[in-house]
Chains A and B, each alone.
Chain A
């Protein structure tokens, strides 16, 4: 059974870097692509970006200058770094497996972690 679990600080100061980790069990991190998504209060779900199993990364142009997604195969984890955060980055952050399959599906998601940006 594939499971994903987000972890990281729940409070980040403005202008600092948000760092989250997603720990994967039940699947090899090196065999799939992995995605980050977020949902700000009262807003739509927003795709942040993904890292392909080859190591290539694809980011939302709206966040591209501030985002880095990376993989640690030794720990079966992948990570998100978002720099220069503001209150607008306050959101529940989700990690997910994919895109994969013939229709680039995100098939398994973590439960999400709330990150608040505040001084």
Chain B
């Protein structure tokens, strides 16, 4: 199985901050990397697919980069509604595997 290591596990930031979350795969996954946002009591919402493609309807302050084993999700200017938990998911090979999540909290 491909192991996905996500960091940090938690992060405190302020409205307007630029935030970066990283995900590292245990082997190359090309660009088969997806990023999700999850709020309490809701299912994950797709933000980024194919490592860098913005899902329709997602604000442009979200961006993704990387290929191979190292990937980054960046939020350019945090908004109040962005405080949530973020997950990466590799869909390069089954079993698909997730990062452990990053909880983004208000400082």
A residues with a Cβ closer than 8 A to B are 4, 44-47, 58, 60-62, 94, 96, 99, 101-112
Contacts and interface: CB of A to CB of B under 8 A. Distances in A.
Contact of B49 (A61, A107, A108): A107
Contact of A111 (B41, B50, B51, B91): B41
A109 B45 CA distance: 7
Given A101-B49, A104-B91, A47 B96 contact: yes
A contact patch SS: loop
Interface string B69-103: 00000000000000000010101001111111100
B43 A105 contact: no
Interface string B44-81: 11100111010100000000000000000000000000
Given A106-B34, A107-B46, A107-B49, A99 B91 contact: yes
Contacts of A45: 44, 87, 89, 98, 101
Interface residues of B, number: 25
Interface of B: 31-32, 34, 41-46, 49-51, 53, 55, 87, 89, 91, 94-101
Given A106-B46, A109-B44, A44 B91 contact: no
Given A103-B50, A103-B91, A106-B89, A44 B55 contact: no
A78 B97 CA distance: 22
28 contacts: A4-B43, A44-B97, A44-B99, A44-B100, A44-B101, A45-B44, A45-B89, A45-B98, A47-B95, A47-B97, A47-B98, A58-B94, A61-B95, A94-B44, A99-B96, A101-B49, A101-B50, A102-B50, A103-B31, A103-B91, A104-B32, A104-B96, A105-B50, A106-B89, A106-B91, A107-B46, A109-B44, A111-B43
